[in-house]
Structures are given as structure tokens and as C-alpha cells.
């Protein structure tokens, strides 16, 4: 049987520690979330983040825009939050319907960018400077450590450029240099079959079948898609799990860990902002 990487249990332990720290230190921290459009999955994810913040004692503010909102209107709200000390973290729920993602993420104060996607934070990670790492990437790495792997071997990432860029520096901290593949790669099945660690973040249900997975591989499924009323991942869990050495379920794997690491990043952002105040 594979080692099931239980993200829910790990996340709950992290959230309890954060709640205790906020209470003990009487921290005044807050999260502002931008939500654009009416995508059901995006609304679900934001509601989960809101619940986690409220349980931990973190102020939560949400601004919802119509799907055709202008970049300027969204950036105006971000600028408002950038200037408010009680909002210590800002998050734009991705993907955006049609807006310029790079411009909107780039408008966030890097030390309030709790998703870790701002170019300055990505560059800081790559260069070994202080910054805020991707909450998603941090969640994945904690699950990787939980898998018990001593030597990652060959690691393959299937996902977007932004996703791969945010995760790669965290892997390199463990001397892992991943291969990054497109889901449309004509040799995808051949390449994934050689991976000791397979990380998939596409949003394409059952993209990865058992014939594409090396026996004993660690499989981390980041994808989430609603099919017939159920949330499913990019990996065909039923057929792949008997082969895998360790695997994340969907739901209950990467998702809860990302939310828990988001809360960690809110505290990290607060710490960075306090250090900036001291220097200025």
C-alpha cells in the first residue's frame, strides 16, 4: 500500500500552532483577498481561506470584482491595501478570467505578497535573499518531506511557468533540479514514467494514468477540477495509488497544506514589515 500523504492532518497541526502564536503574542495581522469573476472553484478556495483566517484570529477582507473588471480598478484596490498597516497580506485568487495577471500581481507590495508570486519574491528565492516563498510551494515541500524520501532522484514537474518557477528554488534547497514539462508534450508518458517524484499541477482530470507512473514514485497531485459534483485531481488516484510509494489524495492533500502555509506567510509578511519599520 502507498503512503497516503494526509494534508488535512498536517495542516490542522500547523493551523493550531499559528492560532496559538497569534493569541500569545497578540498579533494584529490581516489578509485582503481579491476575487474576480464567478468561477465556483475560486469562490470555494476563497471561502476556505476566509474560514482558516477567522479561526486563527486573522482579520479577513474580501473584494469581489465582476469577471470583466479592468486591471486599473483591481490595482486601485491593491494600492489601497498596500497602504493599510492592518492588512499585512494581500492575495489575488488565480486564475483571473482575462486580466493581466503579471501586472496585477506586480502591483502588490512584495512584503505583502503572501502567495509568493511577486517577481521580487521569486527573484529573492532564486538568489537566496529574504523574501516570501510560494504558499503552494511550501505546502508541496512539507508533503514531500512527509513522504520520507531520502533521495528524490529524478523529479518532474508538469505545470505552468509561474508554478514551476515558484517551486524550483524550494526543490533546489534540497539539491533537486527538476525537469519541467508541458502537459501537451508528445513524449509526456515516456518522460513521467522515469520520474522518482512526479508533481502535477494542470487542472486536467485524470491526466496521469498508471501507465505513466514509475512503481514506487512519489506522486503529488496539485490539480483540482469539479467533475459530476466531485473534486478530482490530475492523477487517476484509483489506478495510480497501488503503484505509488507515496501519493496525495484530492481533495485532502495539497489544498489544505496550501491554506495552512498561507497563514504561515501572513505571519512571515508581518515580520518582514516590522523589520522594514525598524530600518526606516
The domain that contains 74 carries what CATH number? 3.40.50.10860
Which CATH number goes with the domain that contains 142? Answer: 3.40.50.720
Q: pLDDT over 70 for what percent of the chain? A: 97
Q: Note whether 156 and 242 are same-domain residues.
A: yes
pLDDT over 80 (residue 207):
yes
pLDDT at 181: 96
Residue 242 lies in a domain: yes
Q: Residue 186 in 3-state DSSP?
A: coil
Residues 6+ apart with CB under 8 A from 41: 224, 225, 226
Q: Note whether 71 and 161 are same-domain residues.
A: no
Cα separation, 25 vs 186, whole angstroms: 53
Residue 18 lies in a domain: no
Domain boundary at 110, 145, 160, which? 110
Q: Note whether 208 and 102 are same-domain residues.
A: no
User: Could you report the per-residue pLDDT of 145-202, keeping only the tens digit for each?
Assistant: 999 876 668 999 999 988 999 999 999 988 899 999 999 999 999 999 999 999 999 9
Residue 9 lies in a domain: no
Q: Note whether 63 and 167 are same-domain residues.
A: no
User: Could you report the per-residue pLDDT of 219-275, keeping only the tens digit for each?
Assistant: 999 998 888 888 899 999 999 999 999 999 999 999 999 999 999 999 999 999 988
Residue 127 lies in a domain: no
- How many domains are there within the chain? 2
Q: Note whether 180 and 227 are same-domain residues.
A: yes
Residues 6+ apart with CB under 8 A from 201: 157, 158, 159, 160, 163, 222, 223, 234
- Give the residue numbers spanning the domain of 35: 25-110
**Average predicted confidence (pLDDT) for the chain:** 94
Amino acid at each position: 500500500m502507498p503512503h497516503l500523504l494526509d494534508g488535512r492532518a498536517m495542516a490542522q497541526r500547523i493551523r493550531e500552532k499559528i492560532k496559538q502564536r497569534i493569541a500569545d503574542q497578540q498579533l494584529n495581522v490581516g489578509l485582503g483577498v481579491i476575487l474576480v469573476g464567478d468561477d465556483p472553484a475560486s469562490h470555494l478556495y476563497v471561502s476556505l481561506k476566509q474560514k482558516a483566517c477567522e479561526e486563527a484570529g486573522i482579520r479577513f477582507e474580501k473584494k469581489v470584482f465582476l469577471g470583466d473588471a479592468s486591471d486599473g480598478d483591481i490595482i486601485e484596490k491593491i494600492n489601497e491595501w498596500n497602504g493599510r498597516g492592518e492588512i499585512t497580506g494581500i492575495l489575488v485568487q488565480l486564475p483571473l478570467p482575462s486580466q493581466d495577471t503579471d501586472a496585477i500581481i506586480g502591483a502588490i507590495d512584495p512584503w505583502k505578497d503572501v502567495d509568493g508570486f511577486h517577481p521580487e519574491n521569486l527573484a529573492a528565492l532564486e538568489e537566496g535573499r529574504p523574501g516570501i516563498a510560494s504558499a503552494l510551494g511550501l505546502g508541496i515541500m512539507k508533503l514531500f518531506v512527509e513522504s520520507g524520501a531520502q533521495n528524490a532522484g529524478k523529479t518532474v514537474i508538469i505545470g505552468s511557468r509561474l508554478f514551476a518557477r515558484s517551486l524550483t528554488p524550494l526543490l533546489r534547497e534540497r539539491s533537486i533540479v527538476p525537469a519541467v514539462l508541458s502537459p501537451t508534450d508528445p513524449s509526456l508518458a515516456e518522460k513521467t514514467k522515469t520520474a522518482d517524484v512526479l508533481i502535477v499541477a494542470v487542472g486536467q482530470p485524470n491526466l496521469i494514468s498508471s501507465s505513466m507512473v514509475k512503481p514506487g514514485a512519489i506522486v503529488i497531485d496539485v490539480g483540482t477540477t469539479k467533475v459530476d459534483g466531485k473534486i478530482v485531481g490530475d492523477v487517476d488516484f484509483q489506478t495510480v495509488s497501488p503503484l505509488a510509494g507515496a501519493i496525495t489524495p484530492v481533495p485532502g492533500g495539497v489544498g489544505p497544506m496550501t491554506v495552512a502555509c498561507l497563514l504561515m506567510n501572513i505571519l512571515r509578511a508581518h515580520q518582514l514589515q516590522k523589520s522594514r519599520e525598524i530600518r526606516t
